[in-house]
Amino acid sequence: MKLRLAIVGAGPAGIYAADILQKYERAFDVSIDLFDRLPAPYGLVRYGVAPDHPRIKGIINALRDVLDAGGIRIFGNVNFGTDITLDDLKKHYHAVIFSTGAIRDADLNIPGIELDGSYGAANFVSWYDGHPDVPREWPLRAKEVAVIGNGNVALDVARMLSKHADDLLPTEIPDNVYQGLKASPVTDVHVFGRRGPMQVKFTPLELRELGELNDVDMVVHEEDFNYDDASKAAIESNKQIFVINKIFTPWREAQAGTASRRLHLHFFANPVEIVGEGGKVSVFRYERTEPDGAGGVRGTGEMRELPIDALYRAVGYHGTELDGIPFDDRHGVIPNHEGQVMDDSNNILPGVYATGWIKRGPVGLIGHTKSDAMETVAHLVKDQASWWSPAEPSEEAITALLDSRGVQYTNLDGWRRLDDHEKSLGAPHGRERIKVVDREEMLRVSAG
């Protein structure tokens, strides 16, 4: 038989799942349709990775190879829940895999988080990556900025805020983003983490890049580096922590610099409150913490304050509920057993699967989605007896449905046209590409 599979979400998780299924040893042919609400594929790699990370962006080459190999159709600019529904998928496919990721900021429930000048990192990342669904302008009026979080996203946000805009010109940064960052008056960016410098969640690569910024001084505080036994043991036993400690060493020894901007790293700082003045962010208040001897931290009761003009929370991403699909709002994921979606009574739902961050939460790097997808695909293949029985499984039926609803969807040829167009915009400036931001423009170029 021929398996007709829908995958909702054309980022790395969805494309990896499609690739794995195509190569899977099985007794059936497969026809795969990828749906995405954006006109362009690649999801997190295109809209969640900072533009000055060409090494990570290089993963797009591998994803492009999968799509160019044939056998996978793309339907971009199609929104699940409105343009196409779960009932539609059951009518035209044997099963569906949801790989919609986690694109919403996790909450930070402290007083003042709603003040003007308090932002979620996800929206800022979407802005500087040229996401078509966020405003073109970003309010970059702050001189003193706080970033809450000790993961890679927090460092990306801090780096983009403190980096000089001209140093981003070799990247694919959209022009409106360059102009906004160019006009930014920022002088100091402060990154705060609850735990110590040897318990951070970011990678050595992300940390090292901070020290390579032009005309930006790194500032750390010696009081944060009085290591407890657990930190010392981590340095000796964990290669990544060993390298992170090595990166910190010259910054600890550095004298006050003369750069026009400074990037401060603060540890053992638990967010308590954002104080406002006239409805706007004015002070960040936090409690000094200390190691608790069990791998965590405890409060010391010592309160500190830092005058700031803006604050960004980068404390994690959260998945978004999908129409008609069970959802665990607490963890921001689709409830599942190894990718098999479960209902509220923990029963497996036939034909419905999940992979990527919507399956397991926003943990791990992009490469980890491969093994994640393998687990989901293995169950899908074994579950053949419980697949849906579509009434109209032909490939032409789904295009006819979208056409009848007036959905202006894009396809793989359209993405290739947009890809070539972005590269042509960048070529006169010696850049790989300049990303098109406006959705209507993306659709116009894709349509040829």
Helix (H, G, I), strand (E, B) or coil at 318: strand
Region 355-363: what's the mean pLDDT? 91
Distance CA 193, CA 146 (A): 11
Tokens 């940064």, located at residue = 173
Distance CA 160, CA 189 (A): 10
Question: In this model, does residue 27 exceed pLDDT 80?
Answer: no
CB neighbours of residue 348 within 10 Å:
16
Provide the pLDDT for residue 59.
Answer: 84
Distance CA 53, CA 120 (A): 21
Distance CA 76, CA 43 (A): 11
Encoded amino acid at 36, one letter: D
Please name which of 274, 267, 268, 275 lies closest in space to residue 299, comparing C-alpha atoms: 268
Q: How far, rounded to the nearest angstrom, does the alpha carbon of residue 169 sit from its chain's CA centroid? A: 22
User: What's the sign of the alpha-carbon dihedral 333, 41, 324, 96?
Assistant: negative
Listed range (275-289, 328-342, 363-377, 409-423) with the worst mean pLDDT: 363-377
Distance CA 160, CA 162 (A): 6
In sequence order, the 6+-apart residues with CB closer than 8 A to the CB of 137 are: 176, 180
CB 260 within 8 A of CB 215: yes
In degrees, rounded to 5, the angle at the alpha carbon of residue 17 between the alpha carbons of residues 11 and 23 is 135
Region 101-127: what's the mean pLDDT? 93
The percent of residues in the chain predicted with pLDDT above 70, rounded, is 99
Tokens 């997190």, located at residue = 44
Q: pLDDT tier at 257 (50, 70, 90 boundaries)?
A: confident
Q: Which two tokens stand for residue 385?
A: 């007896």
Provide the pLDDT for residue 41.
Answer: 96
H and E: helices and strands count for the chain: 16, 18
> How far from 396 is each of 209, 267, 392, CA to CA, in Å?
49, 57, 9
In degrees rounded to 5, what are phi and psi of residue 60? -60, -35
Question: In this model, does residue 162 exceed pLDDT 70?
Answer: yes
Burial zone of 329 (CB within 10 Å; 0-12 exposed, 13-18 middle, 19+ buried): exposed
Buried b (16+ CB within 10 A) or exposed e, 171-183: bbbbebbbebbee
The more confident residue out of 401 and 105 is 401
Distance CA 299, CA 287 (A): 7
The more confident residue out of 366 and 7 is 7
Q: Which two tokens stand for residue 100?
A: 């919609």
Give residue-wise pLDDT tens across range 7-17. Answer: 999 999 999 99
Please name which of 141, 139, 135, 130 lies closest in space to residue 50, comparing C-alpha atoms: 130
Question: In this model, does residue 54 exceed pLDDT 80?
Answer: no
Region 300-324: what's the mean pLDDT? 95
The more confident residue out of 322 and 61 is 322
Q: pLDDT tier at 70 (50, 70, 90 boundaries)?
A: confident
In sequence order, the 6+-apart residues with CB closer than 8 A to the CB of 172 are: 51, 422, 426, 431, 432, 433, 434, 435
Question: In this model, does residue 154 exceed pLDDT 90?
Answer: yes
Region 208-218: what's the mean pLDDT? 95
Question: In this model, does residue 365 exceed pLDDT 70?
Answer: no
Provide the pLDDT for residue 237.
Answer: 95
CB 221 within 8 A of CB 263: no
The more confident residue out of 431 and 5 is 5
Helix (H, G, I), strand (E, B) or coil at 167: helix
Question: In this model, does residue 403 exceed pLDDT 80?
Answer: yes
Domains of the chain: 2-103+319-409 (3.40.50.720), 106-317 (3.50.50.60)
Please name which of 447, 386, 392 lies closest in space to residue 416, comparing C-alpha atoms: 447
In sequence order, the 6+-apart residues with CB closer than 8 A to the CB of 373 are: 13, 16, 17, 20, 99, 355, 356
Helix (H, G, I), strand (E, B) or coil at 12: helix
What mean pLDDT, rounded, does the chain reach? 94
Question: In this model, does residue 240 exceed pLDDT 70?
Answer: yes
Q: pLDDT tier at 295 (50, 70, 90 boundaries)?
A: confident
The more confident residue out of 349 and 23 is 349
